[in-house]
Structure 1
Amino acid sequence: MAIRILFLFLLNITIGYSQNITIKGIALDSTLGEKKVSISINDTIIKFVKKELSNPKMTSSNSFDIVEVLRKKYTTKTNRNGKFTIKAKLTDTLYFYSQRHFTQKHLVSDLLKKNINIQLKPEKCIKFIKCNDTIKSLRFIGKVINVTSSKRSIIVIL
């Protein structure tokens, strides 16, 4: 009898931890809502998508279908106001990313316990420095050869 109660208790804990919960919040980048922030459950999905896209054996349509299904299931984007809703497990990690911003990651359990302000920080810009070098001369190395079939001269670059 005690073993049966212990089994039911452990089963209840397992079911409780494996259930998805809905997380709602606000995530902004430095543009304050001008650009959308993407939210991904675990970075495994991002790595998988990159791997699938670089796999030469995958056809483009097949790869696109897999990526689309995974994207819908494991990622979301913020709306105009920066609000988002996503379903995840308590043990998952949410990754917040936006173009030209540093990625932030937060445990779902931490997001539920604390009121965390998700404000992505911009990456540092590297200022473009124009080169003012002037070209003194151009040199071409090659030779002229005759091709009999086309009866034209072709220049071959060595």
Structure 2
Amino acid sequence: MRRQIFSFLFIFITLFFQAQSVIVKGVARDTTKTRNFVHITVNDTLRKYREMATKAKIRNGDAYLELTKNKDLVTRADSLGNYTIKAKLTDTLYFAKYKHYTQKYKVEDIIKNKIKVQLVPEPCVPYVACEEKIPSQFYIFIGEKIAMNFKEDPYYCNAMSLDMGGFECIYRIKEKVYGGYPKDTIEFKAYDHYGSPAFGKYKNVLLFVSEYCGKLYHEKYQFYDLFKTKDGRWASPGDPYKNDQFLKEKTVEAQKMEFGEDAWVDLSKMVKNEKEKYVPPYYKVVGDKAFPLMGNYVDDLVKAKANGVLKGRSIKLDRN
């Protein structure tokens, strides 16, 4: 009987101490000399939460952000590779870094064997910079989206991608405005710091695309949403500088015009700063809908960009 009690107490004490948290101090480095810091997560908590949220279709960025700030779950190594985190002996630490193979070790083993983590990078490709400072070709067209899909950039050995990747776009060209692109469909890449390119929300858009070193790229953030007016012409509603608020030199003014019945904007899902674009005298707001009262035809839209953003980017349009 005493032996059974002793065995029970031994197991209980063992489990009790295994369940206690300890301070884990170690080293985690990469082979690129900490170009990015190594992140350490207890029991792969962040990835598991993302998977759970995706399956349950939960969109709560605040909850995820709080998890990333929880020092009992997440930390990162410093510039020398040193890290400190609280965990149980039975926990597993996951060591991860962008474009490196993740490694995992039990806390008990890390302490017992004094494991120093050295993350191994994924295979990389050399980055070859394009030396063209201005585009070799420039195209302006009215387009309708066929496809827009995100594609991660290659993992470059000697450079970092600021956006991690871009959107591969395929558009049907409804009307060629400038540059005379030779086909009726066009494929180009679009990069955006804020996520999915805003022009992808609209059915018809006026787009500005440049060719650098044989590849086509959307001129970042440059577009106009387009609708037909009652006289059958393409026009963009609102202020012609609605996406260029900080531009000092403004040479084009919005004109009164009558748009077709499909030219209205749904405000119901917009936040306050988004709704600020849809105000008088450019729009008439009725409930959650904004109906355009003013706008500009394509010629004036091109003029606004040519004398503004494009000029600032050293892109000159041949008006001949």
TM-score, length-scaled by structure 2: 0.37
Q: Which amino acid aligns with 1:20?
A: S
Tell me, in whole angstroms, the C-alpha distance in 2 between the residues paired with 1:127 and 1:33.
19
Tell me, in whole angstroms, the C-alpha distance in 1 between the residues paired with 2:65 and 2:117.
30
Task: Summarize the alignment of residues 1-158 of structure 1 with structure 2, pairs less than 5 Å apart.
Answer: 2=2, 4-43=5-44, 45-51=45-51, 54=54, 55-65=56-66, 67-68=67-68, 71-126=70-125, 137-139=182-184, 150-153=230-233
Tell me, in whole angstroms, the C-alpha distance in 2 between the residues paired with 1:75 and 1:61.
16
Higher helix share: 1
SS at 1:72's partner residue?
Answer: coil
Q: Conserved in 2, the CA contact under 8 Å of 1:25 and 1:84? A: yes
Q: Which amino acid aligns with 1:77?
A: R
Q: Which amino acid aligns with 1:41?
A: V
Q: Structure 2: any 5+ residue segments left out of the alignment?
A: 129-180, 186-227, 235-320
Cα distance change, pair 52–85 in 1 and its aligned pair in 2 (3 A): same
Instruction: Render the CA deviation track for 1:60-95: whole Å, top value 9, x for unaligned.
Output: 434544x346x4321110112110011222222111
Residue-pair matches, total: 139
Q: CA deviation at 1:11?
A: 2.2
Tell me, in whole angstroms, the C-alpha distance in 2 between the residues paired with 1:111 and 1:79.
18
Q: Which amino acid aligns with 1:111?
A: I
Larger relative CO (CA 8 A, sep 6+): 1 or 2? Answer: 1
Q: Which amino acid aligns with 2:121?
A: P
Tell me, in whole angstroms, the C-alpha distance in 2 between the residues paired with 1:127 and 1:17.
47
Q: CA deviation at 1:53?
A: 5.2
Tell me, in whole angstroms, the C-alpha distance in 2 between the residues paired with 1:105 and 1:60.
26
Tell me, in whole angstroms, the C-alpha distance in 1 between the residues paired with 2:108 and 2:63.
35
Cα distance change, pair 14–49 in 1 and its aligned pair in 2 (3 A): same
SS at 2:33's partner residue?
Answer: coil
Tell me, in whole angstroms, the C-alpha distance in 2 between the residues paired with 1:125 and 1:94.
26
Q: Which amino acid aligns with 1:9?
A: F
Stretch of structure 1 that moved more, 46-55 or 13-22: 46-55
Tell me, in whole angstroms, the C-alpha distance in 2 between the residues paired with 1:116 and 1:21.
16
Q: Structure 1: any 5+ residue segments left out of the alignment?
A: 130-135, 141-147
Tell me, in whole angstroms, the C-alpha distance in 2 between the residues paired with 1:83 and 1:59.
32
Tell me, in whole angstroms, the C-alpha distance in 2 between the residues paired with 1:68 and 1:116.
24
Tell me, in whole angstroms, the C-alpha distance in 2 between the residues paired with 1:64 and 1:49.
11
Tell me, in whole angstroms, the C-alpha distance in 1 between the residues paired with 2:7 and 2:71.
38
Tell me, in whole angstroms, the C-alpha distance in 1 between the residues paired with 2:52 and 2:71.
16
Tell me, in whole angstroms, the C-alpha distance in 1 between the residues paired with 2:229 and 2:110.
73
Q: Which amino acid aligns with 1:37?
A: V
What is the root-mean-square deviation in Å for CA atoms of aligned residues? 3.0
Cα distance change, pair 68–14 in 1 and its aligned pair in 2 (3 A): same
Tell me, in whole angstroms, the C-alpha distance in 1 between the residues paired with 2:24 and 2:109.
11
Q: Conserved in 2, the CA contact under 8 Å of 1:52 and 1:58? A: no
Q: Conserved in 2, the CA contact under 8 Å of 1:96 and 1:104? A: yes
Q: Conserved in 2, the CA contact under 8 Å of 1:34 and 1:80? A: no
Q: Conserved in 2, the CA contact under 8 Å of 1:53 and 1:63? A: no
Alignment partner, residue 132 of structure 1: none
SS at 1:152's partner residue?
Answer: coil
Tell me, in whole angstroms, the C-alpha distance in 1 between the residues paired with 2:118 and 2:42.
18
SS at 2:18's partner residue?
Answer: helix
TM-score, length-scaled by structure 1: 0.69
Q: Conserved in 1, the CA contact under 8 Å of 2:101 and 2:121? A: yes
Tell me, in whole angstroms, the C-alpha distance in 1 between the residues paired with 2:60 and 2:118.
38
